[in-house]
Structure formats: structure tokens, C-alpha cells
């Protein structure tokens, strides 16, 4: 059932378009163990960097740089998703062209900084997830599984290819993965184009109907995480109508699969008679969803217009910016964020490190858009009885000073998020190759 949109009060730095249009189930207890850095062996409490590694944080919080590719010999700069074993060992996906694989990190002296590193795998990848005793890694065309041991930073067996045949051409080739306690493997597969035009990028070109992406792309697929040899798209398509779902997460409080979609572009370039450059800058919203079985979220036929608080028909399929048409039947988001913020990471915090108001909150890493300084941040959305509060910027300062041409001039871009076993928050950066660890005052020495 669709819900009448309700406008939320907006934190100023998030601009003028954050809309609540639905509600998730009320959190009802942890459904999975926390993942993150800072394991049982880290008895000493780390000391934060004097400048918080360049980040601006709320009062009571501080940060230290765990790893920096610029100071690490042979370290990757294209750090993407992050996963952590129960003992605190850290694993990050490396999307560096011509290399890639998994970077493994260990802190042996408790200062919070990685002092032992290892590498395995050779294919560039984005998705990574630890479900003991296995580490799952997603190069662009498959999902692999490694058997891990607390005694070793490198695998003791594997990789086993769990899913092969994932599409790795065109746009949106990276894959995001989740693994549930019950053994379900969710794989986010992006679309091949921006809006499924017959002639991509050609003004006036109409969309193909039905979009040919759907048999293998533009959705979330469900596989068995314990069975090697599965071939895409033989698994079940869990959700459809998703252009590019990089920010994907399990909510341990309700067991649901959530994500924040990266919206399309090209309104003015493709249909200058219907949309102005100002429309192009404001459309479409980035959408925060709670997914359900067989849900249809609208791409490429529909987009969410945060100015009108509704989904409308895309111009490639006969829309003029106001027509709703077939979009009345697709799912609305929980919250709509401003256009072109590029959400890349999502994490639900279980709250035993941060103050209680953050328990069950969703942290979102925004990668940032062209010449939009406010879009480079980590935002937090808290919930009460399943209903989202207005978003608040939790961390910024990523782009550094003197950035004129974004994103090229950005020193750092927030990419992915993880929670340590101690409840601290980790943020990866795929522009400068940095990893931060955020602590609250209650854990400062």
C-alpha cells in the first residue's frame, strides 16, 4: 500500500529536499552479530588523531586514521567496501584497475592503526562481507568465498566461486553483497545504462520497453551463500527496478534488506524541451528503501521528484515532469535525499559504542556529486517506532580545503561503512585510500 508523502524538517546542509514517505517495521532486537574493526585483542583504547584525520564530527566524537594508502607501501587507493572478522581483522575490497583483490589489515598493539597487512585475490572488486568462518568477495563478474581462520590474515582455503556470470560491461559494473545468518546471499546488480534509452545519451531517444536489463540487471538477486557453482541469473530476483544499488545493508533490528539508490541524470541533455539545467541539478531524488520480496522500485520508467514529493513518469517513456501514469503502482522511498549525492555506503548501528539515540540508526556514506560540496558527507537517520527522523550530517570535511572542481579536487570521498566489535564506526575512502575509525568520548583514554 502506498503512503501519502510527509515532508520532514530538513537539516540545512542537506539542502531543500528530504522527504519521508513511509515507515519500516519497528526494530525488535538484534538479528545478526555486529561486524567491524577493533577486536577482542585490542585491549588498549586508541588515541584519536589531533585533527580527527581531517573530519568534522559532532561534539563528543573523535576519529583516527587506521590506514592511509598514501603512506602505505603498495597500498591501494580505490578502497571500496569493508568487512571485519570477529577478532577484529579488517578486510577491504580494492577496485584498483589492473589489480584489485582484498587488502587485509591487523592491529597488533592496540593503537587502532593497522601495522600488519596482507593481500590476496587479483581481480578488482567492490562487495565484501564476513559471515564466520567465510569471507565473501565480489569481483565485478562473480562472488567468491574464502575460508578464514583467526590465526591468519590470508585464507586457509578457497576461493570457491559461489556465483558466476554476473554482468560486467556497460555502466554500473560493481556488485554489493550481503549474507544473512540463515545463508541467503543478496547481490545488487546495476543497470547497463542511465535511463535505458534506445540510443543512450542521444537527445530525444526514447526508452526501450520493456527494458532489456531486467533478465540479468537492475535489481537485487538472492542466492544460497553455501552452494558453489551457481550461475547468474539462476537465483531468485528479490527486487527489481533499481538503477544502481551500491549502498545496501541488512538491518539487524528488523532483519530487513535496505538500500539507498543512486538516481539517474540527463534530463536537460536528453529532453531540453521539457527540462532546464536547473531541473537537471534538482532531479531525481536519491531514494532510501526497505525492500520486500518481488518489490518493483520503478527504474527506468519512473523517478522520484522530491519537489513534488511523488514518483512521476520518465520522459523516455512519455513523461513531461508531471504525469504519474504507471508509476502509481511502484514503491515509494522511506526518505528522498537531494539529487546527485551518490550514496555508496549504508550501515545500521547497534548502538553499544555511541549514545543511545544512535541505536538502530542508519548511517549513509555519500560519495558526492559534481560541484556539490554539501554532498560529500556521512549522514545519519535515526528512527522512532520505525519512523525516520530528519537526517543529520554526522561527518564531513572529506574534500579538504581549496577544492574548486569536484569531484576531481576532492582529497577524499566517503565510500563504505562498518561497525567494529567494540561499536566504533569505520569509514572508507576510494579517492585518497584512507580508512577512519570514529569513537565516542566514552571510549577515549
| Rounded CA separation 100/102 (Å) | 7
| Rounded CA separation 367/431 (Å) | 10
**CB contact at 8 A, 334 and 350:** no
Give per-residue burial for 234-263: e unless 16+ CB within 10 Å, then b. ebebbbbbbbbbbbbbbbbbbbbbbbbbbb
At 42 the pLDDT is: 46
Please provide the DSSP assignment of 79-144 as one string: EEEEEE-TT--EEEEE--TT--EEEEEE-SSSSSS--EEEEE--S-EEEEEEETTEEEEEETTEEE
Query: Is the Cα torsion angle 411, 413, 416, 419 positive or negative in sign?
Result: positive
At 72 the pLDDT is: 82
| Rounded CA separation 77/433 (Å) | 4
**CB contact at 8 A, 139 and 123:** yes
At 7 the pLDDT is: 32
Query: Is the Cα torsion angle 300, 197, 345, 17 positive or negative in sign?
Result: negative
**For 276, which DSSP code?**
-
- What residue segments make up the domains of the chain, in order of their start? 6-443
- Phi, psi angles (nearest 5°) of residue 342: 60, 70
| Rounded CA separation 301/311 (Å) | 10
Strand partners, 130: 135
Please give the CATH number for the structural domain made up of 6-443: 2.120.10.30
| Rounded CA separation 38/111 (Å) | 10
**CB contact at 8 A, 97 and 76:** no
- Reading the chain (445 residues) residue by residue, the pLDDT tens digits are 343 333 333 344 454 456 666 543 333 322 233 333 455 444 457 899 999 999 999 999 999 999 999 888 666 678 999 998 888 899 999 998 878 899 999 999 999 999 999 999 989 999 999 999 999 999 999 999 999 999 999 999 999 999 999 999 999 999 999 999 999 999 999 999 999 999 999 999 999 999 999 999 999 999 999 999 999 999 999 999 999 999 999 999 999 999 999 999 999 999 999 999 999 999 999 999 999 999 999 999 999 999 999 999 999 999 999 999 999 999 999 999 999 999 999 999 987 889 999 999 999 999 999 999 999 999 999 999 889 999 999 999 999 998 889 999 999 999 999 998 889 999 999 999 999 999 998 755 4
| Rounded CA separation 37/193 (Å) | 36
Amino acid at each position: 500500500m502506498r503512503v501519502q508523502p510527509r515532508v520532514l524538517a530538513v537539516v540545512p546542509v542537506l539542502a531543500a529536499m528530504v522527504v519521508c514517505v513511509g515507515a519500516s517495521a519497528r526494530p525488535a532486537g538484534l538479528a545478526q552479530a555486529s561486524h567491524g574493526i577493533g577486536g577482542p585483542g585490542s585491549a588498549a583504547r586508541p588515541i584519536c588523531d589531533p585533527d580527527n584525520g581531517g573530519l568534522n564530527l559532532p561534539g563528543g566524537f573523535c576519529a583516527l586514521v587506521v590506514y592511509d594508502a598514501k603512506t602505505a607501501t603498495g597500498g591501494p587507493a580505490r578502497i571500496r567496501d569493508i568487512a571485519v572478522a570477529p577478532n577484529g581483522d579488517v578486510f577491504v575490497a580494492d577496485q584498483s584497475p589492473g589489480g584489485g583483490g582484498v587488502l587485509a589489515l591487523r592491529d597488533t598493539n592496540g593503537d587502532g592503526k593497522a601495522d600488519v597487512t596482507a593481500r590476496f585475490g587479483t581481480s578488482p572488486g567492490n562487495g565484501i562481507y564476513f559471515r564466520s568462518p567465510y569471507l565473501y568477495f565480489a569481483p565485478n563478474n562473480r562472488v567468491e568465498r574464502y575460508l578464514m581462520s583467526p590465526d591468519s590474515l590470508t585464507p586457509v582455503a578457497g576461493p570457491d566461486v559461489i556465483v558466476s556470470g554476473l554482468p560486467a560491461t556497460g555502466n554500473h559494473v560493481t556488485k554489493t553483497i550481503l549474507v544473512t545468518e540463515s545463508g541467503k546471499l543478496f547481490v545488487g546488480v546495476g543497470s547497463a545504462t542511465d535511463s535505458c534509452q534506445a540510443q543512450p545519451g542521444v537527445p530525444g531517444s526514447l526508452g526501450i520497453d520493456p527494458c532489456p536489463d531486467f533478465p540479468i540487471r537492475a535489481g537485487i538477486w538472492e542466492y544460497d551463500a553455501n552452494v558453489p557453482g551457481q550461475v547468474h541469473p539462476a537465483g531468485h530476483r528479490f527486487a527489481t527496478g533499481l538503477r544502481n544499488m551500491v549502498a545496501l545493508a541488512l538491518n539487524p533490528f528488523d532483519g530487513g534488506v535496505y538500500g539507498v539508490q543512486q538516481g539517474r541524470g540527463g534530463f536537460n541533455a536528453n529532453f531540453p524541451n521539457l527540462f532546464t539545467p536547473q531541473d537537471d541539478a534538482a532531479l531525481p531524488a536519491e531514494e532510501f528503501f526497505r525492500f520486500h520480496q518481488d518489490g518493483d522500485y520503478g527504474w527506468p520508467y519512473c523517478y522520484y521528484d522530491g519537489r513534488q514529493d511523488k514518483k512521476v513518469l520518465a520522459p523516455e517513456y512519455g513523461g513531461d515532469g508531471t504525469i504519474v501514469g504507471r508509476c502509481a503502482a511502484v514503491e515509494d522511498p522511506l526518505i528522498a535525499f537531494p539529487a546527485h549525492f551518490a550514496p555508496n555506503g549504508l550501515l545500521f548501528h547497534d548502538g553499544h559504542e555511541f549514545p543511545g539515540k544512535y541505536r538502530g540508526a542508519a548511517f549513509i556514506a555519500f560519495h558526492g556529486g559534481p560541484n556539490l560540496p554539501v554532498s560529500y558527507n556521512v549522514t545519519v537517520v535515526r528512527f522512532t517506532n520505525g519512523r525516520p527522523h530528519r537526517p543529520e550530517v554526522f561527518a564531513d570535511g572529506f574534500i579538504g580545503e581549496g577544492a574548486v572542481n569536484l569531484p576531481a579536487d576532492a582529497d577524499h570521498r566517503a565510500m563504505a561503512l562498518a561497525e567494529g566489535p567494540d561499536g566504533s564506526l569505520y569509514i572508507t575512502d576510494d579517492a585518497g585510500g584512507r580508512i577512519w575509525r570514529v569513537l565516542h568520548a566514552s571510549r577515549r583514554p
